[in-house]
Structure 1
């Protein structure tokens, strides 16, 4: 399953361009926008419009698995715009906890905050 971006920003657009290893001019031509627009996205001056976000989705979906893997590595796990996939299933946040860490299915978040141990989660109890 390819990585999915729920809301594209300049950071994700740049990561995709760099994962594809193309110039801003080539990337702009592929998306049908100006090079200046790519520069504005990447600088954070503007956010891609919905039609451009669809174009970015299409370009990402058409990329080879190697490019998709490079793209996924460039986006840090703390980025809330990215939908992470673990063994074919999306990672989720604990119900009612929008700021909880992302967890794999069947796992629950490890408490975070001062003094908390960092981790990826613990197996969830059958009763909770």
Structure 2
């Protein structure tokens, strides 16, 4: 069972990488369109006219998003099996993990052009 999970993990990583590399330009254009449509502040835009995110950043964001969605699905399946949402494993997988991953992605996107020192010391 562990070997199957490990193979599925590496297969999903390879598929995500292939899809992101092949569709980089449409991804960037789509995100720019969403940013314009929602009138996001310039500071919060990840894909400005000169993209601040490298290919590795886009790939990491796609992988983290995929893992967050998989964790949510596994947590909800466990909730269906156990019949409750109050189990700590269900809460961790279905709710806490995706929130933490989303926060990391948001921080990565907002601070694409700045260092962590500038990001955390800007209020001082």
Class of the TM-score when normalised by the shorter of the 2 chains: under 0.3
TM-score (norm 2): 0.25
Name the structure with the higher strand share. Answer: 1
Name the structure with the higher helix share. Answer: 2
